[in-house]
């Protein structure tokens, strides 16, 4: 049993923290809202600040929405950094800027501690099922110590490289997912507009080279018009913004990523920021003046 801190108890953080506590780890938690009663009932100890969490835990995990939230959780006056002592490990499992991550890691290392960036893929379902994919950047020595905790939250766990490389991997993941959603949306929209049954087209495609998890799960969402989130469009917009911002900084063109972002933007303009990201197809349907299944 080890002393683990967890800052950020949202849709993803709650079940992730619960898995750690269920395995018997001493768990110290903090969020801007009161900790869920179910987690407290499990034996988690609520702390008044990130600083208080860091003072009591040996490994401190953050799981918050975006880069500014991580910066605040780490470096505000009552943040995690203020409670660190040499030898502790900070693990950020949020999805944030790879470049800022490297700067955060340097500041934590200057305090005599180690830093891992470990963003995840798999969404709320993966968090609840402890089946997340975890992409890790940072020193191998810290990874070895924290891996047993990762194994309580995920299944596919990879040390990608140094600090920032985990976040780079997550951004790459989000590029692939967004572009695949766009491709599946176009394909099913084409089939429907041509008069074919999109459900049967999807079934046929699932047996061929075009098969993918996005076609399986999000293709079904598109056909059944089931756009309750899973993973909200506004969160995918944030991730693609990370990709496009970093690409500009390194002089790289990502034309199809930019197109996918514009389709998400169109959904957002129609009040869809909280739709599941599979609802990107609604922007394509608007352009075609046709809805899948009509």
**Locus of tokens 């780890």:** 25
**φ/ψ (deg, to 5) at 107:** -70, -40
Backbone angles phi, psi at 46, to 5 degrees: -80, 135
User: What are the tokens at 35?
Assistant: 């900790």
Structure tokens at 64: 């918050």
Q: Are 184 and 212 in contact (CB under 8 A)?
A: yes
d(CA 120, CA 3): 22
The yes-or-no answer on residue 155 being catalytic is no
Q: Which of 33, 51, 155, 170 is catalytic?
A: 170
Do 122 and 145 touch, CB atoms closer than 8 A?
no
Residues 142, 88: Cα–Cα separation, whole Å: 9
Sequence-distant contacts of 283-290: CB under 8 A, at least 24 apart: 284/182, 284/185, 284/186, 284/189, 285/189, 288/189, 288/193, 290/189, 290/192, 290/193
Checking 174-177 for CB contacts under 8 A at 24+ apart, the result is 174/95, 174/236, 174/239, 174/240, 174/242, 174/243, 175/240, 175/243, 175/254, 175/257, 177/214, 177/236, 177/277
Q: How far is CA 128 from CA 18, 37, 95, 122, in A?
A: 9, 17, 18, 10
CA atoms within 13 A on the CB side of 14: 14
Active site residue ranges:
170
């Amino acid at each position: 049993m080890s002393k683990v801190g967890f800052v950020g108890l949202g849709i993803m953080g709650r079940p992730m923290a619960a898995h750690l506590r269920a395995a018997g780890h001493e768990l110290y938690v903090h969020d801007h809202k009161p900790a869920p009663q179910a987690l407290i009932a499990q034996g988690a100890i609520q702390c008044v600040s990130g600083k208080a969490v860091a003072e009591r835990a040996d490994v401190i995990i953050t799981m918050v929405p975006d880069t500014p939230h991580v910066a605040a959780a780490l470096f505000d006056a009552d943040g995690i950094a203020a409670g660190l002592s040499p030898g502790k490990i900070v693990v950020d499992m949020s999805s944030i800027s790879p470049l800022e991550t490297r700067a955060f890691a340097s500041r934590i290392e200057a305090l005599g501690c180690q830093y891992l960036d470990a963003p995840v893929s798999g969404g709320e379902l993966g968090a609840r099922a402890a089946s997340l994919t975890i992409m890790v950047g940072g020193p191998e020595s810290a990874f070895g110590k924290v891996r047993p905790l990762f194994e309580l939250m995920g299944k596919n766990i990879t040390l990608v490289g140094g600090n920032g490389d985990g976040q780079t991997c997550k951004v790459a993941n989000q590029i692939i997912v967004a572009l695949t959603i766009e491709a599946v949306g176009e394909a099913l929209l084409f089939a429907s507009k041509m008069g074919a049954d999109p459900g049967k087209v999807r079934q046929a495609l699932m047996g061929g080279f075009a098969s993918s998890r996005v076609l399986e799960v999000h293709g079904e969402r598109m056909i059944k018009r089931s756009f309750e989130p899973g993973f909200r469009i506004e969160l995918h917009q944030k991730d693609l913004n990370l990709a496009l911002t970093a690409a500009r900084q390194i002089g790289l063109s990502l034309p199809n990523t930019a197109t996918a972002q514009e389709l998400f933007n169109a959904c957002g303009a129609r009040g869809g920021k909280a739709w599941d990201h599979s609802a990107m197809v609604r922007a394509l349907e608007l352009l075609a003046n046709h809805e899948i299944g009509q």
